[in-house]
Amino acid sequence: MHIHFHGAADTVTGSRHLVEMAGTRVLLDCGMFQGYKVLRERNWLPPAPALLGADAVVLSHAHLDHSGWLPRLVRSGFRGPIYATPATRDLAEVMLLDSARLQEEDARRANRYAYTRHDKALPLYTTADAKRAIAKIVPLSPGRELALGRVHVSLTPVGHLLGACAVTLRAGHDTLVYSGDLGRDDDLLMPAPHRVARADVLLVESTYGDRLHPRDDAMQRLGAIVRDTVARGGSVLLPSFAVGRAQALLLVLQRLKATGQIPRRLPIYLDSPMAIEATELYQRHRRLLRVAAREIATLTDGVTLVARAAQSAKLAQRHYPAVIISASGMATGGRVLHHLKTLLPDPRHHVVFAGFQVGGTRGAHLVAGAPSVKIHGEYVPARAQVSQLEVFSGHADADGVMHWLRGFDAPPRQTFVVHGEAAAADALRLRIQDELRWRVRVPPHGGRFEV
């Protein structure tokens, strides 16, 4: 078989792995590059002809770094089907439409204030492009097998995010397994990743390949932060991924209120239309979760759902203690930017990033202690307290990935470590080589391999 790494090979974003097997070409994920500008610029390059000519796309899960380039691919002429689990399809619809809207907004704002150096800013893709891509998604349930020519495709749940799966491609006796993003065994919402028994060729993610999650309790840490901040009259801002993370935060905040660890009457705002929609999807697909149905049903009880932009603008002017959950999770766009502009200059407030921050994002800058960040073309001083709670990460840490790898019956003949910053990918490569004695390498961006 032949593998060509079109993304997530030297970084954690832009997952696009083209596999050619038994005469069939399958594109595993079609993600957007995020973070450093030099990476984001790759989103504007035209898709390689080999990608446009793929027989199908198989989507591991709905996160934009895995799905966010689909509208661009379809607009450029891709004609095949896109396979994903039913839950991934539902989430991808919400996420791709939101992504298109954000890009249209950014382009409009850039043109209005002319802070772009291009002549006229254009969106990477439009809402219409996103709708065309969504219409191509065909549901494939975990455990079912689909034939694409002589290749059989199947999906195995791996926790991480509602609907997320590893992908298995099998042709005759040859099997390729792609981990997608691996969840953790102790995730708040998702069950632990299922074991996959067999792979001849394996692609495994390495987001946390060089790190272990802290063992501290998510609920205790967030509870302490909220109590301290409220006591000094400040608000807690939780920039959050709208899908998955926001629901985990709501779950913990509800438990903190129920056990009296934070004031029961403290206002909580969910300020993200996408997070509101995603919460409904988590409630609809509750059978896929590890949380009791009745707890999921009460996730938004007493929470103010801020759907309209005007309401959000008003909320940003408030000056008394509250907890605000708003997207995006790495402060790269969305309503959270207005809250950051208001809250960051005041040391009473606390901004808590609940998860991994890709290098080059505002989130990564703030977590690293930047004295100011640029928002909408102006510098905003960062005097508020800033923390990061990796306990909310949706990814397996290095031990978690190694545990999943030990579930295979026999060593794959070749393992590729993808989806990690250079240090993380290389650390995981070393552990796989030393502890498992497998043949393993980190592919370069654009690398092609015959295996």
CB of 91 to Zn ion, least distance (A): 11
What are residue 38's phi and psi, to 5 degrees? -60, -30
The residue among 331 and 340 lying less far from Zn ion, judged by its C-beta, is 331
What does each C-alpha distance from 89 to 147, 163, 182, 431 come to in angstroms?
19, 8, 18, 35
Helix, strand and coil content of the chain, in percent to the nearest 5, comes to 35, 20, 45
Q: One-letter amino acid identity for 246?
A: A
Residue 11 and residue 209 in contact, taking contact as beta carbons nearer than 8 Å: no
The residue among 62 and 432 lying less far from Zn ion, judged by its C-beta, is 62
Task: Give the CA count within 13 Å in the CB-facing half-sphere of 137.
Answer: 27
The residue among 288 and 344 lying less far from Zn ion, judged by its C-beta, is 288
Q: Binders of Zn ion: how many residues, by CB under 5 A? A: 2
CB of 305 to Zn ion, least distance (A): 25
Out of 10, 29, 90, 181, point to the residue binding Zn ion (CB under 5 A). 181
Residue 397 and residue 213 in contact, taking contact as beta carbons nearer than 8 Å: yes
- Is 29 one of the binding residues for Zn ion (CB under 5 A)? no
Q: Binding mask 48-87 vs Zn ion (x if CB under 5 A, - otherwise)?
A: ---------------x------------------------
Q: Which stretch binds Zn ion (CB under 5 A): 98-106, 174-182, 281-289, 429-437?
A: 174-182
The residue among 63 and 350 lying less far from Zn ion, judged by its C-beta, is 63
In the region spanning residues 316 to 375, those forming contacts with Zn ion, defined by CB under 5 A, are none
The residue among 181 and 210 lying less far from Zn ion, judged by its C-beta, is 181
Cα separation, 300 vs 108, in Å, equals 33
CB of 209 to Zn ion, least distance (A): 15
Q: What does the H/E/C string look like for 301-333?
A: CCEEECCCHHHHHHHCCCCCCCEEEECCCCCCC
The residue among 244 and 360 lying less far from Zn ion, judged by its C-beta, is 244
Tokens encoding 249: 């935060």
CB of 387 to Zn ion, least distance (A): 22
CB of 289 to Zn ion, least distance (A): 17
Residue 66 and residue 29 in contact, taking contact as beta carbons nearer than 8 Å: yes
CB of 222 to Zn ion, least distance (A): 22
Given the rule CB under 5 A, which residues bind Zn ion? 63, 181
